[in-house]
Amino acid sequence: MLQSIAKLPLAVALQALSLLFSPASAATITLSIPPSPQIPNPAALPPSTHATLTALGASFLAPLTTDNTFVFRNVTPGSYLGDVHCATHGFAPLRVDVISVTAGDDDKKTGGDGVSLRVWETFRGNDWENKGEEIRPAVVGGAFPVKVLGSKIYYTERGSFNVLSILKNPMILMGLVSLALFIGMPKLVENMDPEMRAEFEEQSKKNPMNSLMSGPQPGSNPMGNFDVAGFLAGQGSGSKEESEPSSGNGGKKAGRVVYVWKFTDLAFGLLFFSSDIND
Amino acid sequence: MHLSFQALSLSVLLALPASVRAVFQDEVGHIDYHHELLGVPQRETTFFHRPRTEEKASLLYTLSDLGVLGAVNPSNGALVWRQLLAGNVTDGGGFLRAAEDQTWLVGAYGSSVSSWDALTGRNAWSLNSNGVVKDVEIMEITERGGKDVLALHQEPGATVARRIHGADGHVVWEHREVNKDIPLQVSTSLDKVFVVTLHGSLLSYSLKVMVLDTLTGKKLDEIPLGTKGEVQSPQDVMFVGANSAAPIVAWTDNGMTKLKVNVLGLKSKQEFALPTDTVDVEIHAPHTIQSSPHFLVHSRTKPGHKADVFHIDLKSNVITKAYELPLLEGGSAFSTSSSGANVYFTRVTDNEIIVTSSTSHGILGRWSLKSGAEKLGALHGVSEVIKKAEDSYAVRAVVVTDSDDWTQIVNGELGWTRLEGLSGAVAATWAEFPQSEDLARTLEAEAHSNPWSAYVHRVKRHIDDLQYLPTYLQSIPKRLLSSIVGSESTESTDEATRDSFGFNKLVVLATKRGKLYGLDAGNHGKIVWSKNANETPSGKHWDVKAIHADNAKGLVTVRGSEGQFIIVKSDTGNTIEAMPSSLFPAVDGATIVDSDAGPWLLPIERDGKLGDVQLAWAPKQTVVTRTGENELQGFRYVEKDELASPIPVWSFSPSTGQHIANIATRPQHDPIASIGRVLGDRTVKYKYLNPNTIVVAAVNNKTSVLSTYLLDTVSGQVLASSSYEGVDSNKDIACTLSENWFLCTYYGQYQLRDSEAQNLKGYQVVISDLYESEVANDRGPLGDAANFSSLDPIDIPTGPAIPSVVSKTFILSGPITSLAVTQTRQGIAIRQLLAYMPESHSIIAIPRMLLEPRRPVGRDPTPAELEEGLVKYVPAIELDPRMTVSHARDVLGVRSIIAAPAILESTCLVFAYGVDVFGSRVTPSQAFDILGKGFNKVTLVATVAALFIGVLGLGPMVRKKQINMRWQAPM
**H helices, E strands: number in chain A:** 7, 12
Closest by CA to B36, choosing from B921, B912, B922, is B912
Are B225 and B265 in contact, with CB atoms under 8 Å apart? no
Per-residue pLDDT, B376: 78
Q: How many angstroms separate the CA of residue B61 from the nearest CA in chain A?
A: 15
Report the DSSP pairing between strands A144-145 and A27-32: parallel
Candidates A7, A49, A56, partner chain B, best to mutate (most B CBs within 10 A): A56
Residue B435, SS3?
A: coil
Contact criterion met (CB < 8 Å) for A61 and B87: yes
Res. B37: pLDDT tops 90? yes
Contact criterion met (CB < 8 Å) for B19 and A274: yes
Least confident interval from A8-17, A51-60, B25-34, B144-153 = A8-17
Per-residue pLDDT, B813: 92
Partner residue facing B881 (CB), from A65, A152, A219 = A152
User: What's the CA gap between B890 and B84, in Å, rounded?
Assistant: 12
Q: Domain segments of chain A: what residues?
A: 8-151, 158-189, 192-224, 227-279
Per-residue pLDDT, B547: 93
Per-residue pLDDT, B286: 85
**List of chain B residues whose C-beta atoms are within 8 Å of the C-beta of residue A71:** 126
Partner residue facing B1 (CB), from A6, A64, A260 = A260
Per-residue pLDDT, B662: 93
The per-residue DSSP string of B510-570 comes to: EETTSEEEEEEGGGTTEEEEEEE-----TT----EEEEEEETTTTEEEEEETTS-EEEEET
Q: Which residues of chain A have pLDDT under 70?
A: 1-25, 102-113, 160-161, 207-279
Answer with the residue of higher pLDDT: B399 or B500: B399
Per-residue pLDDT, B122: 93
Per-residue pLDDT, A207: 67
Contact criterion met (CB < 8 Å) for A271 and B866: yes
**Average of per-residue pLDDT values in chain B:** 86
- From the CA atom positions of chain B, what is the Rg in Å? 34
Report the DSSP pairing between strands B104-109 and B95-98: antiparallel
> Which amino acid is it at A48?
S
B812 band by pLDDT with thresholds 50, 70 and 90:
very high
Per-residue pLDDT, A198: 83
**List of chain B residues whose C-beta atoms are within 8 Å of the C-beta of residue A94:** none
How confident is the model over A193-210, as pLDDT tens digits? 888 888 877 887 776 555
**List of chain A residues whose C-beta atoms are within 8 Å of the C-beta of residue B761:** 54-56, 79, 81, 128
How confident is the model over B39-51, as pLDDT tens digits? 999 988 999 999 9
Per-residue pLDDT, A254: 40
Residue A47, SS3?
A: coil
In degrees rounded to 5, what are phi and psi of residue B869?
90, 15
Mean local confidence (pLDDT), B225-243:
73
**List of chain B residues whose C-beta atoms are within 8 Å of the C-beta of residue A93:** 813
Q: B4 burial class (0-12, 13-18, 19+ CB within 10 angstroms)?
A: middle
The residues, any chain, with a CB within 8 Å of residue B354's CB and separated by 6 or more, are B325, B346, B347, B363, B365, B366
Are B370 and B413 in contact, with CB atoms under 8 Å apart? yes
The residues, any chain, with a CB within 8 Å of residue B12's CB and separated by 6 or more, are A267, A268, A270, A271, B866, B869
Closest by CA to A49, choosing from A59, A39, A57, is A39
> Which amino acid is it at B118?
A
How confident is the model over B544-590, as pLDDT tens digits? 999 999 888 889 999 988 888 899 999 888 999 988 887 888 888 89
How confident is the model over B815-847, as pLDDT tens digits? 999 999 999 999 999 999 999 999 999 999 999
In degrees rounded to 5, what are phi and psi of residue B565?
-150, 160
**List of chain A residues whose C-beta atoms are within 8 Å of the C-beta of residue B888:** 87, 154
**List of chain A residues whose C-beta atoms are within 8 Å of the C-beta of residue B880:** 277-278
How confident is the model over B70-105, as pLDDT tens digits? 999 999 999 999 999 888 888 888 999 998 888 999
User: What's the CA gap between B902 and B924, in Å, rounded?
Assistant: 13
> Which amino acid is it at B263?
V
Contact criterion met (CB < 8 Å) for A56 and B726: yes
The residues, any chain, with a CB within 8 Å of residue B270's CB and separated by 6 or more, are B260, B261, B262, B318, B319
Per-residue pLDDT, A253: 39
Mean local confidence (pLDDT), B650-654:
92
Closest by CA to B360, choosing from B324, B410, B320, B328, is B324
User: What's the CA gap between B97 and B106, in Å, rounded?
Assistant: 5
Per-residue pLDDT, A263: 43
Per-residue pLDDT, A226: 57
How confident is the model over B903-949, as pLDDT tens digits? 999 999 999 999 999 999 999 988 888 887 777 778 888 989 999 99
User: What's the CA gap between B332 and A77, in Å, rounded?
Assistant: 55
Pairs across A and B, CB distance < 8 A: 208
Contact criterion met (CB < 8 Å) for A81 and B761: yes
Per-residue pLDDT, B192: 85
Res. B435: pLDDT tops 80? no
Per-residue pLDDT, B17: 41
Partner residue facing B169 (CB), from A13, A155, A270 = A13
User: What's the CA gap between B562 and B567, in Å, rounded?
Assistant: 16
Order across the sheet with A69-75: list the strands: A69-75, A27-32, A144-145
Per-residue pLDDT, B2: 39
B538 band by pLDDT with thresholds 50, 70 and 90:
low
